[in-house]
């Protein structure tokens, strides 16, 4: 039998035998909300205290929840609001909640139409002015005679793109409602989010604030153990593997999502190899896999000119210039643009792009002193050359450029 046939048969057979490693892989997904959130008792209580007034028919305060990714903001909020909803239902109080993830939803228009559909108002997919949709939303809320809690998760993403007009309107909405009332809870992954807001919006939105700090390694280990109990077959997970996932995620920024990803991918790798027990080795391989996927995804979604800047650094490094000065990168960038029939951006803009690529880790850029000749910036690739090459080879416009030979190099190798 051919090698690939054997491989396929193994995949089918393993699947039919049932997983040797997982019992319920679903609980390792990001959007799974566990019944128990260790190390977040204080946050749960704080949020519960903020929203409880709605059970007696009073409006609760607006609030702002923030902390880095994977610190449990979404899970805690969903957990508290679910319980709140159940209690309100028991009491027969008129409470509605709209939970919208702004990053996934995308635009202000879509956030608004999601809010509309949560109170059963249909809005065309496109075509109306944002102001018109907002008016419909307002009229509909008022006609429902209700308390409405609007939860805007990953709110920083719309504010960064579009400013805070929607938030301004939302936090002012009660002044023009007669029968209903609206409270807004914003959740942000970006700690500097507050700086982006108009002071008037900020003061209304942050009547209450809850900050989520990163988890440490012990806390992450606890969280993982709770999840692993449901996710894995008995004995399928070594203690060392859990510990390592927790340690790696803690070293990054205390991100529970990262820790869960490591655990899931390690389990999948073990399963694929037919190993019955997830070991530290699997976790290390998982770390590499995740990193590889992350780079691949970032490379794929890069705007064209950033790709060309990166390609320039790539080509320079292939010509044995590991760390290039901005002037050389720019010259080559212009040459590549010319080859590709594009008009180049100014050197200033390209400098800005180099900065951005440095921030996301695709490039490493450092200012070096040239002694009495002043200072210059030297830039090198921040990721393995092989991955850059592989991804660019998939890009129709760049495919022909990965083997390009620069015409002019100011400092030949
Ligand atoms: P954030 O919204 O802050 O980015 P999430 O709430 O999405 O973080 O949490 C990321 C993942 O980690 C989710 O799968 C969540 O269920 C899990 N998680 C976070 N904190 C805890 C906790 N204290 N206990 C159990 N699971 C947690
Ligand atoms: Mg979240």
Mean pLDDT on 153-169: 86
pLDDT of 412 higher than 60: no
The whole-number pLDDT of residue 321 equals 83
User: How far does the centroid of ligand 2 lie from the alpha carbon of residue 270, in Å?
Assistant: 29
Quick one: three-class SS letters along the chain?
Answer: CCHHHHHHHHHHHHHHHCCCCECCHHHHCCCCCCCCCCCCHHHHHHHHHHHHHHHHCCCCCCEEEEECCCCCHHHHHHHHHHHHHHHHHHHCCCEEEEEEEHHHHCCHHHHHHHHHHHCCCCCCCCCCCHHHHHHHHHHHHHHHCCEEEEEEECCHHHHHHHCCHHHHHHHHHHHHCCCCEEEEEEEECCCCHHHHCCHHHHHHHCCEEEEECCCCHHHHHHHHHHHHHHHECCCCECHHHHHHHHHHHHHHCCCHHHHHHHHHHHHHHHHHCCCCCECHHHHHHHHHHHHHHHHHHHHHCCCHHHHHHHHHHHHHHHCCCCCEEHHHHHHHHHHHHHHHCCCCCCHHHHHHHHHHHHHCCCEEEEEEECHHHCEEEEEEECCCHHHHHHHHHHCCCCHHHCCCCCCCCCCCC
68-96 tens-digit pLDDT: 999 999 999 999 999 999 999 999 988 99
Q: Is the pLDDT of residue 287 over 50?
A: yes
CB 72 less than 6 A from any atom of ligand 1: yes
Residue 241's pLDDT band (cuts 50, 70, 90): very high
- Find the 76 Cα to ligand 1 centroid distance in Å: 8
Q: Where is average pLDDT lowest: 14-23, 187-196, 290-299?
A: 14-23
| pLDDT over 50 at 413, yes or no | no
Position 193 scores a pLDDT of: 86
Mutate to test the pocket of ligand 1, among 256, 260, 261 (most ligand atoms within 8 A of CB): 256
| Nearest atom (ligand 1) to Cα of 71 | 3
Atom of ligand 1 nearest to the CA of 28: 14
Q: Is the CB of 34 under 6 A from ligand 1?
A: yes
pLDDT digits (tens, 9 = 90+) for 302-358: 999 999 999 999 999 988 888 889 999 999 999 999 999 999 999 999 999 999 899
Q: What is the pLDDT of residues 165-179, one digit of tens each?
A: 889 999 999 999 999
Say if ligand 1 is within 6 A of residue 270 CB.
no
Task: Look at ligand 1, atom 22, and give the residue with the nearest C-alpha.
Answer: 37
Q: Taking 90 as the threshold, does the pLDDT of residue 219 lie above it?
A: yes
Closest atom, ligand 1, to C-alpha of 219: 23
Residue-wise pLDDT for 375-410, tens only, equals: 788 999 999 999 999 999 988 889 989 999 888 665
The verdict on the CB of residue 224 being under 6 Å from ligand 1 is: no
Q: Is the C-beta atom of 220 inside 6 A of ligand 1?
A: no
Ligand 1 atom with minimal separation from the 212 CA: 3
CB distance 40 to ligand 1 below 6 Å: yes
Q: What is the mean pLDDT of residues 295-301?
A: 91
Top pLDDT among 107 and 267 is at 267
Q: 72: CA distance to ligand 2 center in Å?
A: 7
């Amino acid at each position: 039998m051919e090698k690939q046939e054997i491989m396929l048969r193994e995949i089918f057979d393993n699947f039919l035998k049932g997983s040797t490693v997982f019992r319920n892989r679903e609980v390792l997904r990001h959007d799974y909300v566990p019944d128990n959130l260790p190390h977040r008792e204080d946050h749960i209580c704080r949020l519960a205290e903020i929203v409880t007034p709605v059970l007696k028919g009073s409006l609760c305060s607006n609030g702002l929840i923030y902390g880095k990714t994977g610190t449990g903001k979404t899970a805690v909020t969903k957990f508290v609001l679910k319980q709140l909803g159940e209690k309100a239902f028991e009491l027969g109080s008129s409470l509605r909640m709209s939970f919208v993830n702004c990053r996934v939803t995308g635009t202000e228009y879509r956030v608004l139409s999601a809010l509309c559909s949560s109170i059963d108002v249909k809005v065309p997919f496109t075509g109306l002015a944002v102001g018109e949709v907002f008016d419909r939303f307002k009229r509909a809320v008022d006609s429902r005679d209700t308390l409405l809690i609007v939860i805007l998760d990953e709110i920083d993403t719309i504010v960064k793109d579009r400013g805070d007009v929607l938030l301004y309107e939302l936090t002012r909405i009660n002044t023009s409602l007669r029968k209903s009332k609206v409270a807004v809870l914003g959740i942000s992954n970006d700690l500097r989010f507050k700086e982006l807001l108009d002071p008037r919006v900020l003061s209304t939105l942050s009547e209450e604030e809850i900050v989520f700090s990163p988890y440490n390694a012990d806390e992450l280990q606890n969280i993982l153990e709770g999840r692993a109990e449901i996710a894995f077959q008995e004995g399928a997970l070594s203690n060392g593997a859990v510990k390592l996932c927790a340690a790696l995620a803690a070293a990054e920024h205390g991100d529970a999502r990262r820790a869960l990803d490591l655990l899931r991918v390690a389990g999948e790798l073990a399963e694929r190899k037919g190993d019955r027990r997830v070991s530290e080795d699997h976790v290390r391989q998982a770390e590499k896999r995740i990193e590889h996927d992350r780079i691949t995804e970032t490379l794929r979604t890069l705007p064209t000119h950033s790709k060309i800047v990166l390609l320039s650094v790539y080509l320079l490094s292939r010509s044995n210039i590991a760390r290039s000065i901005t002037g050389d990168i720019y010259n080559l960038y212009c040459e590549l643009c010319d080859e590709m029939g594009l008009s180049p951006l100014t050197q200033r803009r390209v400098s800005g792009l180099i900065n951005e690529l440095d921030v996301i880790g695709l490039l490493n850029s450092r200012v070096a002193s040239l002694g009495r000749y002043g200072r210059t910036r030297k830039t090198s690739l921040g990721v393995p050359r092989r991955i850059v090459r592989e991804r660019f080879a998939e890009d129709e416009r760049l495919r022909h450029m990965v083997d390009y030979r620069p015409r002019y190099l100011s400092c030949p190798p």
